[in-house]
Amino acid sequence: MTSTIFQASDLANQKRVDFLSQARAGRARLRDKDGTSLVMLPESHLLWLETMAQWSSVHLRLEGVIRRATLPTVSELGDLAWLRAFDIDDLTEFVEELHEALVVSNADQNPSRLEECVNAWRVTARQLEDPLRRSVLLGAPSISDFDDAPRPDASLPDDEEP
Amino acid sequence: MSSAYDPSQPARRPGGKPGQQPSYRVLVHKKFKRHYDQLVDKVGIQQAQQFWDHLANNPGEPSAVASITILRGKAGKPWAENWSRVHHYELTSKARADYAYCDVFTTGPGDEPHRVVSILTINYGSH
């Protein structure tokens, strides 16, 4: 990483090319006229940092909840209220997977593993919202609970099939 | 038979017949049979057939046309030995289904193992 510190006036001269080049490479530093230190970096890098910060904080919060071994209330969950669909065992599993995803995303400098993990749990929570779906997904179905599902067709008469 | 356009002939059915013998027998949970019967009306024939073809031929593979997520927690665990985890298939932004499959399903001792895929739930409407 370069230690060059650009001046605000450099953005108006030939040095802006170097400034942008360093920003694209990861980080470019600039000292504003009032002495404020500014940094420019690729947006993808900023998104990664923001995602890591957000979910690291969530992880810490949930670890505390799990340690208590009682289900958190909706107000305790706050913006994570979608997690109310899960029991304490599932919440523990979520926290463990979140921890692993944080480690991988940090190592890769890419939030995709973290996003994939959270998305899968959100999708599951949505499926469990409905009582009928919940009863099937959390039940123990037997083969007698199922019927054949024929291939959908446009209901044309057989003699008009291609 | 002429290949010229014949206005009295109906259009070919989108998707047509399956191009190959299905590998899996496709089942649907009785509680969601009514939802399954509405599939073509809800998503159109092409997407309904793509969904069925995916289940019947390669339910464990990614789909080129749909997003598939494996459910987490107890909802995603196999409900019996040899069954897969529960997969969540998004047919459209307003239609999705959960399914699991088994490559060596038998109904009893001496029964020939065969492949079965079971649709557990179907739901319509945006999240």
Cβ B36–A149 below 8 Å, yes or no?
Answer: yes
Cβ B56–A151 below 8 Å, yes or no?
Answer: yes
Angle between helices A43-68 and A112-129 (to 10 degrees): 50
pLDDT digits (tens, 9 = 90+) for B69-94: 999 999 999 999 999 999 999 999 99
Considering only CA atoms, give the Rg of chain B: 17
Distance CA A153, CA A151 (A): 6
User: Tell me, what's the pLDDT at B28?
Assistant: 97
In chain A, residues with a C-beta closer than 8 Å to the C-beta of B13 are 153-154, 156, 161-162
Report whether pLDDT(A17) > 80. Answer: yes
pLDDT digits (tens, 9 = 90+) for B6-28: 443 433 433 455 567 889 999 99
User: Tell me, what's the pLDDT at A157?
Assistant: 45
Q: Which residue's structure tokens are 């919940």?
A: A134
Averaged pLDDT, A43-58? 94
Percent of chain B having pLDDT more than 90?
Answer: 71
Distance from CA of B79 to the nearest CA of A (A): 6
User: Tell me, what's the pLDDT at B116?
Assistant: 95
Q: Which amino acid is at B120?
A: L
User: Tell me, what's the pLDDT at B21?
Assistant: 81
Distance from CA of B112 to the nearest CA of A (A): 16
Phi, psi of A32 (to 5 degrees): -75, 170
pLDDT, mean over chain A: 91
Q: Which of A68, A65, A54 is nearest to A101 (CA)?
A: A54
In this complex, the residue of A133, A152, A156 whose CB is nearest that of residue B48 is A152
Angle between helices A88-108 and A43-68 (to 10 degrees): 150
pLDDT digits (tens, 9 = 90+) for A72-118: 888 888 889 999 999 999 999 999 999 999 999 999 999 999 999 99
Neighbours of A121 (CB within 10 A): 25
Distance CA A85, CA A125 (A): 6
Banded model confidence at residue A140, pLDDT cuts 50, 70, 90:
confident
User: Tell me, what's the pLDDT at A158?
Assistant: 44
Q: Which residue's structure tokens are 């080129």?
A: B64
Q: In this complex, is the C-beta atom of B33 within 8 Å of any C-beta atom belonging to chain A?
A: yes
Q: Which of B66, B82, B71 is nearest to B121 (CA)?
A: B71
Q: In this structure, what token pair is assigned to residue B78?
A: 């196999």
Give the list of residues 6+ apart from residue A18 with CB closer than 8 angstroms, or none: A4, A6
Q: In this complex, is the C-beta atom of B91 within 8 Å of any C-beta atom belonging to chain A?
A: no
| For A150, nearest residue in chain B (alpha carbons) | B26
The domain at B23-123 falls in which architecture? 2-Layer Sandwich (3.30)
User: Tell me, what's the pLDDT at A3?
Assistant: 76
State pTM to two decimals.
Answer: 0.83
Banded model confidence at residue A161, pLDDT cuts 50, 70, 90:
very low
In chain B, residues with a C-beta closer than 8 Å to the C-beta of A148 are 25-28
Banded model confidence at residue A64, pLDDT cuts 50, 70, 90:
confident
In chain A, residues with a C-beta closer than 8 Å to the C-beta of B127 are 126
Distance CA B16, CA A63 (A): 53
Q: In this complex, is the C-beta atom of B87 within 8 Å of any C-beta atom belonging to chain A?
A: no
User: Tell me, what's the pLDDT at B17?
Assistant: 58
User: Tell me, what's the pLDDT at B12?
Assistant: 43
Q: Provide the residue ranges of all domains of chain B, joining segments of one domain with +.
A: 23-123
User: Tell me, what's the pLDDT at B78?
Assistant: 95
Distance CA A157, CA B103 (A): 34
Percent of chain A having pLDDT more than 90?
Answer: 77
Q: What is the DSSP letter of A149?
A: -
